[in-house]
């Protein structure tokens, strides 16, 4: 017999999770704070969290831990927490679950709602090795024993995403001022990102060995380049927050004596 599952939160992601559970043949109960959000097909909508907690498994997908925490009670049997938070918040919730006799798994969704229920949706989880219903959503990947690890991976990977998207949008704005449309520029940007991605294993190894000698490109020349980029954006009347911040960070690493070293040496400045 399949377990019964409740989903708390019918936002963009919570609705996609409920739909995927229905498609996997689970009996699904849903709860949402406000009534405005539509009820996903073939689910049972309940008005109180107490009713939702009767299911074998409760999946939470709310905006933040701050709004989630007051809703949790020891009536829950198994909690699959997919609300985004910090590693510390995840560990505290794992501790709360342990104290209250609630089975617990902490997961993060590395996908958008449209990918849920397909193999392309990766769900990282940590702590408890039992993934309960996570395979209904995509491919579950256990990242370690510490309950905070999934949240750590989540924020680290999103950090790369935000920095990349920020850099891309800055570039599109800059190219726009030179009359180059996104459609013309973007294929080149996407190809460039693939090349940069291929450089990461080597850079990662250097950050571990801390041998920053290079015959590729010294930090000095990159600081000069970031100055040029900042100037060009400024000349075109654009915001310079992103290039200026990178310039300042790289320049501090240069002043600390890494001018002749590879870009990877900037990690020493970040770790300070
Ligand atoms: P939405 O803004 O679409 O939904 C937020 C949900 O939280 C709603 O159900 C909302 O209820 C509920 N909520 C907000 N405040 C409260 C409160 N005080 N009490 C009770 N419920 C509350 O967000 P998403 O669905 O996009 O995101 C949900 C979680 O999933 C987040 O932690 C997000 O980081 C994570 N996530 C989202 C991804 C995405 O692509 N969308 C990708 C990966 C993770 P109400 O309808 O009443 O406002």
For residue 2, the model assigns a pLDDT of 85
37 in contact with ligand 1, CB cutoff 6 A: yes
Q: How far apart are the first and last CA of the chain?
A: 54
Q: How far apart are the CA of 64 and the centre of ligand 1, in A?
A: 7
Q: How far apart are the CA of 252 and the centre of ligand 1, in A?
A: 39
Domain at 4-146: CATH architecture: 3-Layer(aba) Sandwich (3.40)
CATH number of 181-271: 1.10.1040.10
146-161 pLDDT per residue, tens: 999 999 999 999 999 9
Helix (H, G, I), strand (E, B) or coil at 103: strand
Q: How far apart are the CA of 107 and the centre of ligand 1, in A?
A: 15
Bridge partners of residue 106, in order along the sequence: 81, 126
Please tell me the residue having the least CA distance from ligand 1 atom 14. Answer: 63
| ipTM of model over 0.85 | yes
CA–CA gap between residue 194 and residue 189 (Å, rounded)? 9
112 in contact with ligand 1, CB cutoff 6 A: yes
Please tell me the residue having the least CA distance from ligand 1 atom 19. Answer: 67
89 in contact with ligand 1, CB cutoff 6 A: no
For residue 1, the model assigns a pLDDT of 78
Query: Residues of the chain whose pLDDT is less than 70?
Result: none
The domain segmentation of the chain, as residue ranges, is 4-146, 181-271
Say if 4-146 and 181-271 have the same CATH topology: no
For residue 183, the model assigns a pLDDT of 98
């Amino acid at each position: 017999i399949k377990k019964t599952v409740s989903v708390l939160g019918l936002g963009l992601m919570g609705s996609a999770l409920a739909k995927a559970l229905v498609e996997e043949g689970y009996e699904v109960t849903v709860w949402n704070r406000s009534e405005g959000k539509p009820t996903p097909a073939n689910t049972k909508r309940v008005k109180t969290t107490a009713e939702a907690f009767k299911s074998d498994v409760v999946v939470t997908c709310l905006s933040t831990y701050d709004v989630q925490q007051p809703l949790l009670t020891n009536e829950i049997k198994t909690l699959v927490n997919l609300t985004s938070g910090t590693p510390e918040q995840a560990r505290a919730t794992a501790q709360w679950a342990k104290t209250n006799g609630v089975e617990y798994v902490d997961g993060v969704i590395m996908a958008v709602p449209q990918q849920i229920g397909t193999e392309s949706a990766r769900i990282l989880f940590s702590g408890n090795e039992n993934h309960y219903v996570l395979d209904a959503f995509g491919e579950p990947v256990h990242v370690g024993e510490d309950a905070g690890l999934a949240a750590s991976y989540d924020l680290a990977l999103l950090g790369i995403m935000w920095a990349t998207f920020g850099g891309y949008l800055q570039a599109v704005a800059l190219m726009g001022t030179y009359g180059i449309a996104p459609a013309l520029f973007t294929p080149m940007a996407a190809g460039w990102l693939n090349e940069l991605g291929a450089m990461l294993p080597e850079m990662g190894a250097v950050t571990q060995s801390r041998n920053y000698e290079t015959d590729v490109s010294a930090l000095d020349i990159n600081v000069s380049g970031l100055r040029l980029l900042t100037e060009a954006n400024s000349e075109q009347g654009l915001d310079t927050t992103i290039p200026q911040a990178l310039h300042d960070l790289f320049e501090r690493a240069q002043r600390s004596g890494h001018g002749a070293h590879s870009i990877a040496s900037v990690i020493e400045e970040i770790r300070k």
